[in-house]
Copies of this chain bind each other. A is one copy, B any other.
Amino acid sequence: MADVAQLAGVSSQTVSRVSNGFPGVTEDTRAQVMAAMRELGYRPNSAARALRRGEFRTLGVITFSLSTMGNIRTLEAIATSAAEHGYAVTLLPVAVPTQDEVNGAFSRLGELAVDAVIVIMEIHLLDAATVSLPPGVQVVVADSDAGDRYTVVDTDQAGGARDAVRHLLDLGHDTVWHLAGPEGSFAAQRRANAWRDTLRAAGRVTPPLVRGDWSAESGYRAGLRLADDPDCTAVFTANDQMALGLLRALHERGRRVPDDVSVIGFDDIPESASFLPPLTTIHQDFAEVGRLCVEGVLSKMREGGAEHGTTLVPTRLVRRASTARRRS
């Protein structure tokens, strides 16, 4: 910076003003400084900048393995949205979802070059970890369920699940089976709860819940069991991958979709339109979730907001060929 100042014949402070776009600099001097910067290939040093300003212009994102489509899309949206606000995004991967690992990630946070944090993960492990959060670091949690402890942005999972179940009931099915996600997942839990509540509200019997682990393979295994039950004419799977496995199992067992069994998924991954048959599913707007996470955390930083709440992003039913009126 000093070199630039010298070359431009001004003080370093003026260089700083130019580099930050401050007013109160003549057009002439500004041009001079710009020229000098270009000539010397000057780049502001972000470490010094951060030190001086006390902020990094960086958001940290804590996430487990990026294996689920939802997390990935959310992350992508966060990165894009953060960039629009002039913020960079730093990834803080938590290898193993154990309490220790989460605590570790949270405490490492303190010495990380990060102004605020967005957490994309099931909240279970967060409960005990809250203590070690460095003060002054705002947090927003995506895809979770702890509105009273954290600021949360999430898709309206309950609403989506309700729509899915109602869609099948409207098609004349007596009841709807549910292939749920793993027990540890809050998202799975909320979808399962909404499924149960909706059936109950409609006065239908609730079939036993079948559990998978989000993977297509687990959907396949569950499907093999469901295929043998002639009463099962409609299945709501907690994500599209499991629906894929389910479709394969039903096909292998000679149960036609949607003629014999209707299947509805959750997520609307791009591939689901090409399943056999194309999958009716609940679309989630992850881009919106990511955007809201960033804006939420930035506004919390500005206003130092301490109050928590939950923002829900609506879902949308995407009707394709895997669901049909019951024929029996």
**Residues of chain B within 8 A of A326, CB atoms compared:** none
Which of B113, B247, B251, B271 interacts with A113 by CB under 8 Å? B113
Tell me if B274 and A216 are in contact (CB < 8 A): yes
Among the listed stretches A41-49, A298-306, A308-316, which one makes contact with chain B, having 4 or more residues with CB under 8 Å of it? A41-49
**Bound CA–CA A199/B90 (angstroms):** 45
Shortest CB-to-CB span from A57 to chain B, Å, is 9
**Bound CA–CA A47/B50 (angstroms):** 6
Shortest CB-to-CB span from A4 to chain B, Å, is 14
Shortest CB-to-CB span from A72 to chain B, Å, is 5
**Bound CA–CA A88/B117 (angstroms):** 14
Tell me if A91 and B93 are in contact (CB < 8 A): no
Q: Which of A54-106 contact B (CB under 8 A)?
A: 56, 58, 65-67, 72-73, 75-76, 79-80, 83, 88-93, 95
What number of copies of this chain does the assembly contain?
Answer: 2
Tell me if A93 and B111 are in contact (CB < 8 A): no
Tell me if B274 and A244 are in contact (CB < 8 A): yes
Which of B51, B75, B220 interacts with A48 by CB under 8 Å? B51
Tell me if B56 and A66 are in contact (CB < 8 A): no
**Residues of chain B within 8 A of A47, CB atoms compared:** 47-48, 50-51, 56, 113
- A110 at interface, CB cutoff 8 A: yes
How many interface residues does chain A have, given as a range? 35 or more
Tell me if A88 and B88 are in contact (CB < 8 A): no
**Bound CA–CA A100/B82 (angstroms):** 20
Which of B44, B72, B135, B276 interacts with A111 by CB under 8 Å? B44
Excluding A80-B95, A217-B274, 4 further A-B contacts by CB distance (< 8 Å) are: A46-B56, A58-B90, A83-B92, A216-B270
A-B contact pairs, 29 of them (CB 8 A): A43-B111, A45-B51, A45-B111, A46-B56, A46-B113, A47-B47, A47-B48, A48-B51, A50-B113, A51-B51, A58-B90, A66-B75, A72-B72, A76-B93, A79-B91, A88-B113, A89-B93, A90-B90, A216-B273, A217-B270, A217-B273, A217-B274, A241-B271, A244-B271, A248-B274, A248-B275, A248-B276, A271-B271, A276-B276
